[in-house]
Amino acid sequence: MYNYKVLSIIIPVYNEESTLKCLLEKVIHVKLTNGVEKEIIIINDCSRDQSEAIAKCVIAGYPDVSIKYARHEVNSGKGMAIRTGLQLVTGDYVVIQDADLECEPQDFGLLLSYLITCEKKVVYGSRFLERENKHSYLGFYLGGRLVSLFANILYGQHLTDEPTCYKMFDADLLKSIPLQCTGFEFCPEVTAKVSKLGYKIKELPIHYYPRSIGEGKKLKWYDGIKAIWTLLKYRFIK
């Protein structure tokens, strides 16, 4: 009987035909630490481009890789895609991976090693702790800092990058959290609820390659407002 661990990688996809093939192949080929295996879960959030065809072509090309695929018939948002993905998770750990190329899957190993060797339940990858990283828009940079400041004040954390994509969890912990998000507010909601359970969130530096709005970046200025409201809402409700 094998006693190996599995990392489930949830990849929400919405109109990412320009980056999806490269991203999926990066995830497929990344070597994880501590003998951990991969489970890749692709959730197509009703893309209108060629994302579905690309995903199915990649899946067919790697029959020996554990890849699950599901499609929303109605565009429902990143948070809902993550929630759908969680229903398919069978691994011991879970990480969120956007379908763009802004974050580097090679960084999974660093986060995973921390969870395993330190026996922790949650770790975030911070774009701000890696000094070589560049940031495409001053507004996004300041917005991320502001959201992190609110999270720290409201929940007693010491985060530099609350909105980071790379959030890695013990699977049982993440599955136990009653998520209600549908959009980008997944990040502040899960931060709020993990914090209220008493967990201090460790951050480790990750690589970051920001894309422009013209290249497909989907965040809007008002998503920062929603994030702050979400942090406030869950701080003061039971």
Mean pLDDT by 10 residues, the chain (238 residues): 80 96 98 93 98 98 97 97 98 96 96 96 96 76 89 97 97 97 94 97 94 61 86 89
Question: How far is it, in rounded angstroms, from Cα 135 to Cα 63?
Answer: 37
Question: Looking at residue 219, what is its pLDDT?
Answer: 67
Q: Name the domain count of the chain.
A: 1
Task: Provide the strand spans (E) within the chain.
Answer: 6-13, 37-44, 67-71, 93-96, 122-126, 167-170, 202-205
Q: Is 50 exposed, middle or buried (0-12, 13-18, 19+ CB in 10 A)?
A: middle
Neighbouring residues of 14: CB distance < 8 A, sequence distance ≥ 6: 44, 45, 46, 47, 51, 75, 78, 81, 99, 218
Question: Looking at residue 34, what is its pLDDT?
Answer: 83
What's the DSSP call for residue 78? H
Question: Looking at residue 33, what is its pLDDT?
Answer: 86
Question: Looking at residue 223, what is its pLDDT?
Answer: 77
What number of CA atoms fall less than 13 Å from residue 31's CA on the CB side? 2
> Across-strand partners of 188?
none
> Across-strand partners of 100?
none
On whether residue 196 sits in a domain, the answer given is yes
What's the DSSP call for residue 208? B
Containing domain of residue 129, as a range? 6-235
Question: Looking at residue 1, what is its pLDDT?
Answer: 36
Neighbouring residues of 127: CB distance < 8 A, sequence distance ≥ 6: 133, 135, 144, 161, 164, 206, 208
On whether residue 1 sits in a domain, the answer given is no
On whether residue 187 sits in a domain, the answer given is yes
Neighbouring residues of 46: CB distance < 8 A, sequence distance ≥ 6: 14, 71, 72, 73, 74, 75, 76
On whether residue 65 sits in a domain, the answer given is yes
Question: SS3 of 187, please?
Answer: helix
CATH number of the domain that 127 lies in? 3.90.550.10
